[in-house]
Structure 1
Amino acid sequence: MLLLTRLIWESFSFALQALRANLLRTVLSLLGVTIGIFAIITIFTVVDSLERSIRQSLAFLGDKVIYVQKWPWIFGPDYPWWRYINRPVANLEEMKFLEENLKTASGVALYVVRPNATAKYLGNSMEGVSVIGATYGYSKVSEVKIREGRYFSQKEVEAGRNIVLIGDEVAKKLFTGQNPLGKEIRVKGQKFTIIGVMEREGENFLGAPRRDIQCIIPYGAFTRMYKISIFGIQPTISLKGFDEDKDLMNLEAETRSLMRIKRGLKPKDEDNFALNRPEMIAREVSSIFGVISFAGAIIGSFAILVGVFGIANIMFVSVKERTHIIGIQKALGAKNYFILFQFLFEAIFLSLIGGAIGIGLVFLITLIPQESLELQMSLKNILVGFSVSAMAGLIAGIIPAWNASTLDPVEAIRSK
């Protein structure tokens, strides 16, 4: 342990001496490592931030949720729409059947969305509002955070009463400086009494649906205003699973079985419904960003390669300049491995300095305020940066260190 500490300290001292003695040469040689680490960590940081922002934007889809819908989520250019166009849409009767018979679901709901509606209060109006008609269990399958007021009661939903939960932006737009609770807004000519205001969510990266511009009403009230049809507005049955992944798999299997029974499908008949899970989109996003990260690592590796040659050049010069000292150390009993590790650690320290500068530059970039994309450098990326730097130093220093360790002590002392 004492020997290792001594080796590390001496190597670190020699690395600092190399920086001080030949500052320009050392900085230019370390530039390759700095640029390489900067490129790699910048790409990783941007990709991670993009992926995180996209996942946050898709949070409205929920977690541990299965959607029973007409259309399957298929990614790619050749979507076989003709196979699904004549499928029936989910309905209230099917939702109630699943609610009564599912044993692996923690929540079941039916909901339908009508985007780009207009909400009015006296002389104020707001366009682009999303109206959601939902059954009572909607709050169990999709998070509905109430800032003021309350959620629907089951009797209110079953009766299809004209009551509404409004988003933060709707409240601010229609009721500037007023308390909206108990007041009435109009949507498509119908009056709705406000019983709750939802918490603000703010903008998201993809502009995905958000609670701030939504009005949630009972499903019965929705069907009195808008027509549900196979080619028009189509409801979705949403099922919330339990925490374990295996429970979600069981829920999917149980749902498929019950839906086939409800729709009277024979054993050889193909499903005429789709069971969609947000994990499908998450996997697609991860695969795309995995390719981008790999491409970024390849690009950065070329700069790292330049840095490896630069550090190797420093080490060869360092070995030549200190040949006399190496001879004296060997004459005094220093073993070959001591000399080897001394120069190897020195190369690693030099590379780590270059890597630290690159990581520091990336960190400075993350401090710049970004409106649409918040950059955050994770601990994982920092560790990757230092690991790659250390590996580059190891590769760059192995041959010079080996040459130094195999020098003949007599010839090395005479070299001066």
Structure 2
Amino acid sequence: MLIIRLTLESFRFAWNALRSNLLRTVLSLLGVTIGIFAIIAVFTIVDSLERSVKDSLNFLGSDNINVEKWPYGFGGGPYPWWKYMNRPQPTYADYQFLLENGDSFEAITISARRGGVTAKQKNNSTSSDLMGVAFDHKDVYEIPLEKGRYFTRLEADAARNVAIIGARIAKDLFPYEDPVGKTIAMRGLKYYVIGTIKEEGEGFLGTPSNDDNIYVPYKTFLKLYYSGARDGIGSSITAKGKSSDIGLVELEYELRGLMRQRRGLKPKQEDDFALNRPEALVNFISSTFDVLSVAGWVIGSFSILVGGFGIANIMFVSVKERTNIIGIQKSLGAKNYFILFQFLFEAIFLSVIGGGTGIFLVYLISFVSLGTLDLQLTVGNIILGLGVSAVIGMASGIIPAATASRLDPVIAIRTQ
């Protein structure tokens, strides 16, 4: 109880000292305020950018492995495109083989995409991204329906002309009526609209959005485009891993083995397909933002360093001004650690107040509109800012506080 009482008393002395020298206190905390503001502002912007980028990449799915012709080529030096030029595209027969023989995935789908497809309805027309997908596509990727239904397995296997349209497509073609049950036309063929997708809004990086998509069964897509052609209209087979398969190791081994078997590759032959992991792109982006975070530390460290020296200087001045009071306190029985805590807490208070002010300024900036970028000050960054402030205050005040605690009471009382 004595320690708690002395600690509270030290806090009270520190608070009164800061309040009695308000102008000096404000000038002292400016350096810490600017430093913490710089660090937390950079971290907040970086975290918000990273979150927005990752949200924009949600269309890639999670815990998935894609079987494709081209491997991802980011962050690995020169891209040897000539090695992959003559590889065959994944086909519907490949998809069926994996579906029938694989058991390490929860679901598997095949999809193909063609952009810039004109969809018409009476006098209205709009450009869309046409997606041909298998029946199990909804189990691999989220397709949140607002109205209507998903197409049935019979419709998928029979290549029926049915379509699920995105929110923007629905607004452009059916501005005043419900699209479900109506027909649209693409490339001279009519398609029966069986559902609409909930609006997602514009992605931060302009990444593909369901708002612009029209989904049709994969075999229906093949009636319009040959998905195995070498003009870039290739297919992608996507397998969703099981939650028990940590790192999707079993799924990757199985897909590689089955595809090599399907393609008739000999043991010494290289794969003529790529197994791409969407999270590899996310990890690459995260490593890029880590560099920006380091830059934030460097930028803010200079201001914090200046603020720390400012606090230390003020604490030495404070010790000098209160030497007589320290002598009186010691003569009345105050212990060395009580004097130490008194000045140390004062330095920490000063620094934490400065850091809190910097964090508050970042909070105000988070209300500024930056288009699709949503700035959010996280609890983690708040704790980080206050923690750094407390450490700076402790480091800046420990020497002045130790100096005050070691003063001889007789000499201190005589000091004018």
TM-score by length of 1: 0.97
Equivalent residue, structure 2, for 1:154: 153
Equivalent residue, structure 1, for 2:112: 112
Superposed CA deviations along residues 248-301 of structure 1, whole A, max 9, x for unmatched, are 221111111111111111111111111111110111011000010011111101
Q: CA deviation at 1:245?
A: 4.9
Superposed CA deviations along residues 117-166 of structure 1, whole A, max 9, x for unmatched, are 11100000002x10001111111111111111100100100000100000
| 2:52 paired with 1:44 | no
Look up the SS of the partner of 2:108 in the other structure. Answer: strand
Equivalent residue, structure 2, for 1:282: 282
Equivalent residue, structure 2, for 1:6: 6
| 2:263 paired with 1:267 | no
- Cα distance in 2, alignment partners of residues 345 and 66 from structure 1: 55
Superposed CA deviations along residues 285-343 of structure 1, whole A, max 9, x for unmatched, are 11000010011111101000010011111111111111111112222222222211221
The 5 A counterparts of 1:188-203 are: 188-203=187-202
- Cα distance in 2, alignment partners of residues 174 and 20 from structure 1: 67
> Which stretch of structure 1 is more off in the superposition, 396-405 or 68-77?
68-77
- Cα distance in 2, alignment partners of residues 402 and 4 from structure 1: 20
Contact 2:344–2:397 (CA<8 Å) still a contact in 1? yes
AA of the residue aligned to 2:380: K
- Cα distance in 1, alignment partners of residues 19 and 337 from structure 2: 26
Superposed CA deviations along residues 76-110 of structure 1, whole A, max 9, x for unmatched, are 45211111111111001110111111111111111
- Cα distance in 1, alignment partners of residues 179 and 108 from structure 2: 30
Superposed CA deviations along residues 9-39 of structure 1, whole A, max 9, x for unmatched, are 3443344334433322221111000000000
- Cα distance in 2, alignment partners of residues 96 and 5 from structure 1: 75
Residue 401 and residue 173 in structure 1: after superposition, are their counterparts in 2 closer, same or farther (change >3 A)? same
- Cα distance in 2, alignment partners of residues 374 and 261 from structure 1: 48
The 5 A counterparts of 1:151-230 are: 151-228=150-227, 229-230=229-230
Q: CA deviation at 1:246?
A: 1.6
Equivalent residue, structure 2, for 1:399: 399
- Cα distance in 1, alignment partners of residues 215 and 60 from structure 2: 16
- Cα distance in 2, alignment partners of residues 316 and 245 from structure 1: 60
| 2:63 paired with 1:64 | yes
Residue 208 and residue 82 in structure 1: after superposition, are their counterparts in 2 closer, same or farther (change >3 A)? same
- Cα distance in 2, alignment partners of residues 245 and 59 from structure 1: 21
Contact 2:14–2:343 (CA<8 Å) still a contact in 1? no
Contact 2:166–2:198 (CA<8 Å) still a contact in 1? yes
Equivalent residue, structure 2, for 1:363: 363
AA of the residue aligned to 2:136: G
The CA RMSD over aligned residues, in Å, is 1.3
TM-score by length of 2: 0.97
Contact 1:120–1:186 (CA<8 Å) still a contact in 2? yes
- Cα distance in 2, alignment partners of residues 247 and 332 from structure 1: 67
AA of the residue aligned to 2:361: L
Identical counterparts, % of pairs: 54
Q: CA deviation at 1:350?
A: 0.7
Residue 188 and residue 162 in structure 1: after superposition, are their counterparts in 2 closer, same or farther (change >3 A)? same
The 5 A counterparts of 1:56-95 are: 56-76=55-75, 78-95=78-95
Look up the SS of the partner of 2:400 in the other structure. Answer: helix
Equivalent residue, structure 1, for 2:137: 138
Look up the SS of the partner of 1:255 in the other structure. Answer: helix
Equivalenced residue count is 414
> Which stretch of structure 1 is more off in the superposition, 240-249 or 278-287?
240-249
Equivalent residue, structure 2, for 1:336: 336
Equivalent residue, structure 2, for 1:318: 318
Contact 2:90–2:237 (CA<8 Å) still a contact in 1? yes
- Cα distance in 2, alignment partners of residues 412 and 257 from structure 1: 83
Structure 1 unaligned residues grouped into runs of 5+: none
Look up the SS of the partner of 2:57 in the other structure. Answer: helix
Q: CA deviation at 1:217?
A: 0.4
> Which stretch of structure 1 is more off in the superposition, 163-172 or 14-23?
14-23
Q: CA deviation at 1:230?
A: 2.8
Q: CA deviation at 1:238?
A: 0.7
AA of the residue aligned to 2:166: G
Q: CA deviation at 1:45?
A: 0.3
Superposed CA deviations along residues 159-192 of structure 1, whole A, max 9, x for unmatched, are 0010000001100110011011111101111110
Equivalent residue, structure 2, for 1:301: 301
Contact 2:29–2:351 (CA<8 Å) still a contact in 1? yes
Contact 1:104–1:247 (CA<8 Å) still a contact in 2? no
> Which stretch of structure 1 is more off in the superposition, 222-231 or 13-22?
13-22
- Cα distance in 2, alignment partners of residues 211 and 50 from structure 1: 21
Contact 2:6–2:338 (CA<8 Å) still a contact in 1? no
